[in-house]
Amino acid sequence: MAISLVGFDADDTLWHSESHFALTEDRFRALVSPWSERGETSERLLARERANLELFGYGVKGFILSMIETAIDVSDSAIPVEAIQQIVEWGKEMMAHPVELIDGVTDVLDTVGRSYRMILITKGDLFHQESKIAESGLAERFERVEILSEKSPRHYREVLSRTGVDASEFVMVGNSLRSDVAPVVEIGATGVHVPYTITWGHEQVADGSLDDRQGDRARTLATIRDLPTLLSELA
């Protein structure tokens, strides 16, 4: 196969992100424990996040607003204002948290960039994503950066149209089967799954649910360090 363009996801593919959400959610479960058990809290928070995606989109701000709504709901509006303020402070901490690159990312990008065009494709809050990309020091390695509201087959087709690359010549690398593999496989591109240690509930898919459409266009790597070798094999 001819590879013209390699796309990279950002959060939990190039740098750590979900671990910060998991830590904050753990704090949140403790905060509302007088009114809700941990398992129930997580289920209700995830349901609220999913319901709010169309309004708030992805990212820290939507997460914080969903926690506030969940706290009010599970406590039957008994949650004190001090607790609401604590949730807001957690959000500020998350927004200000320094970018921590995943081990091996810089070397891999330098290696891949010597042979292929590269593009960064992420989704979430525009302001926060721009801030993290700038702080990462990786932006100059990509020919363009795309910050999307969602990662669907339509969105990927639009990105490829802007780059002038056919789907058959595109490889997308990311930690989410739902966002980084399934949509690109659907349009005839290749998705490379590099699992992160934690996967947000909304991004999880049932085991084997993609098998019927994966074929040779869906691959899984144990670590992003294996990507240059895989690209050579694919080409």
Q: What is the CATH number of the domain that holds 44?
A: 1.10.150.240
- Residues 92, 201, single domain; the answer is no
| Mean pLDDT for all residues in the chain | 91
pLDDT band at 212 (very low <50, low <70, confident <90, very high): very low
Q: Residue 80 and residue 101: Cα distance in Å, rounded?
A: 37
Total number of domains in the chain: 2
Q: Residue 228: give the domain boundaries.
A: 5-16+100-234
For residues 98 and 85, is the Cβ–Cβ distance under 8 A? no
pTM: 0.87
Nearest alpha carbon to residue 167 among 177, 178, 176, 156: 156
- Residues 106, 137, single domain; the answer is yes
User: What local confidence, expressed as pLDDT, does residue 204 receive?
Assistant: 58
- Residues 107, 9, single domain; the answer is yes
Helix (H, G, I), strand (E, B) or coil at 24: helix
- Residues 91, 114, single domain; the answer is no
Q: What is the mean pLDDT of residues 57-80?
A: 94
User: What local confidence, expressed as pLDDT, does residue 124 receive?
Assistant: 83
Q: Residue 26 and residue 23: Cα distance in Å, rounded?
A: 5
- Residues 59, 132, single domain; the answer is no
- Residues 104, 218, single domain; the answer is yes
CATH at residue 193 = 3.40.50.1000
* 92 sits in which H/E element: helix 81-96
User: What local confidence, expressed as pLDDT, does residue 125 receive?
Assistant: 85
- Residues 66, 78, single domain; the answer is yes
- Residues 88, 188, single domain; the answer is no
- Residues 108, 121, single domain; the answer is yes
- Residues 72, 153, single domain; the answer is no
Domain boundary among 96, 114, 132: 96
